[in-house]
Amino acid sequence: MSNSSLPTLPASDRPEVAARLRDALLGAAFTADGLLELLGAPAYAALARSETVPALRATRGDTPLETLVRLFLLQQPVPHARVTDVLPVAECVESGWLASVGADEVAATVDVRPYGGPDGEDWFIVSDLGCAVGGAGGIGSREEGVVLGVGGASTTLAGITVRTPVSAALDLGTGSGIQALHAARHATRVTATDLNPRALHITALTLALSGAQAADLREGSLFEPVRDDETYELIVSNPPFVISPGARLTYRDGGMGGDDLCRSLVQQAGERLREGGFAQFLANWQHVEGEDWQDRLRSWVPRGCDAWIVQREVQDVTQYAELWLRDAGDHQGDTTAYEALYDAWLDEFEARKVKAVGFGWITLRRTGSDTPSITVEEWPHPVEQPLGDTVREHFDRVDYLRAHDDAALLAAHFRLAPEIIQEQVGLPGAEDPEHVVLRQHRGMRRATKVDTVGAGFAGVCDGTLSAGRILDAIAQLVGEDPVLLRDRTPAQIRLLVEQGFLEPVG
């Protein structure tokens, strides 16, 4: 892979320049909040769609913040004298953050984008010019080694990642460094790998400019740069998961047949995880004719790991091919070449008997249990990010249910989780509802049908009485045999606990 046609990057071994540049950016309110206040919501949203005209109109003045927006976000040359009042220009030019243009202007060599951390931190994500999502040039680069900024996939992974203190974290395929940056908040040591040396360089810039600790940066594909004796408590990856004929674009195309890259990544993660550690990935997977997609994913899970796999979206092969051809800007070029590429994608899918492609999240947790839990589900509905705590709590519930048989469940105490509402559905005027639905307003925002006993049980769970005593009271109220009720209800209790509607007490 060659990056020779891409611009030279700023020096990554000048932390003192990055620190001064960071101070200058913060001093001018070049932050996520500052941008929103300057541009206004419509122009800010338009920039995220790669439409720059509203932002250009909003930055016609000469304030320091307007100068920085034009320089780093809109990638417009700015008069040298105007920038001197805002940035240490000489140092930025010498170290490569800025380049002289013509007689009296300077231009940015990289895209620098403000990014708000989860606790209000002011971070900055570095990427190649025009390659931040919503950047001045938009996505559509055909450069093999280009490094993109933060997109929806990046923020999704950051949001679902379990954020507990760890001694060692690993970011595979780091790209612009966003996952490493998040991990640096709660990991003593962060290792970041990438096949693209340019991505490692940009990750170092992102971390330095954000004021974060440096990471251990290693070049290589997936787990190749990791030594045999190295294990981690957290592994994250937004890999090049696109299923395509070949590997034209390093930042997105796996380069292996079908979904083999994602499968290999998941299968190899188990031996790299410490006991209780999490591995979390975004992935694409094939829906193959005559094969259950859920069984396909279950076969990926390594031994000794619990797993929670959520399919968020499915596209047929034509939609999928069109999406990624447009992502590379192929639809804007020669029509004949575009049609040939499209045809090659469909040939690839046809040869593998692929009828659709799924996208979603995969979370593994290393467990010492002899009976690992593997949950594979489809959930295309809206969720509440961040979901890291929800993911951790899912596996806590897995442990609880694994350790409690039906008798133990009946002896246990539960309380209804916060922000659960009950909906009753039926014909107007009917004495009883056709069905009752419990609905969450937090986390996964699940909804589940329950019978009248389940609804009544959940409604009185406040941690005071054991499940068995509540069922005895319900049996007396509805005139049902308490023994039979105790016998048939634990399955419903188990489901309500598994999905987070009921929380064990004590």
pLDDT band at 333 (very low <50, low <70, confident <90, very high): confident
Helix (H) or strand (E) holding 133: none
Q: Give the C-alpha separation, 10 to 26, whole Å.
A: 19
Residue 96: CB atoms within 10 A of its CB come to: 18
469: CB partners within 8 A, 6+ apart:
none
Q: Give the C-alpha separation, 266 to 260, whole Å.
A: 10
pLDDT for 135: 47
Question: How large a percentage of the chain has pLDDT more than 70?
Answer: 97
415, 502 Cβ separation under 8 angstroms: yes
Q: Give the C-alpha separation, 130 to 127, whole Å.
A: 8
pLDDT for 255: 77
Q: Give the C-alpha separation, 138 to 6, whole Å.
A: 16
Does the pLDDT of residue 138 top 50, yes or no?
no
CA angle 114, 117, 123 (to 5 degrees): 35
Helix (H) or strand (E) holding 91: helix 89-95
Q: What is the mean predicted confidence (pLDDT) over 184-194?
A: 98
pLDDT for 3: 60
Q: Tokens 């320049």 belong to which residue? A: 17
**End-to-end CA, the chain:** 56
pTM for the model: 0.95
Does the pLDDT of residue 415 top 60, yes or no?
yes
Q: Give the C-alpha separation, 323 to 315, whole Å.
A: 10
Give one word for 56, left, alpha or beta, with left for phi > 0 and alpha for psi -120 to 50. Answer: alpha
More reliable by pLDDT, 200 or 431: 200
pLDDT for 187: 98
pLDDT for 4: 57
pLDDT for 136: 43
Q: Give the C-alpha separation, 502 to 357, whole Å.
A: 34
Buried b (16+ CB within 10 A) or exposed e, 14-41: beebbebbbebbeebbbbbebbeebbee
pLDDT tens for each residue of 451-470:
989 999 999 999 999 999 99
Write out the two tokens for 12: 């990554």
Q: What is the mean predicted confidence (pLDDT) over 379-401?
A: 97
DSSP secondary structure code for residue 242 in this structure: B
Q: What is the mean predicted confidence (pLDDT) over 465-478?
A: 97
93: CB partners within 8 A, 6+ apart:
99, 100, 106
pLDDT tens for each residue of 354-377:
999 999 999 999 998 999 999 999
59, 82 Cβ separation under 8 angstroms: no
Does the pLDDT of residue 137 top 70, yes or no?
no
More reliable by pLDDT, 68 or 103: 68
pLDDT tens for each residue of 30-48:
999 999 999 999 999 888 8
In whole numbers, what is the pLDDT of the chain averaged over residues?
94
Surface-to-core class of residue 442, CB atoms within 10 Å of its CB (0-12 exposed, 13-18 middle, 19+ buried): middle
Q: Are strands 305-316 and 354-366 parallel, antiparallel or unpaired?
A: antiparallel
Question: How large a percentage of the chain has pLDDT more than 90?
Answer: 85
| Least confident piece of the model among 53-67, 85-99, 248-262, 395-409 | 248-262
Write out the two tokens for 472: 């005895």
Amino acid at 120: G
In a 13 Å sphere around the CA of 50, the CA atoms on its Cβ side amount to 13
Q: Give the C-alpha separation, 379 to 443, whole Å.
A: 12
Q: Give the C-alpha separation, 57 to 44, whole Å.
A: 12
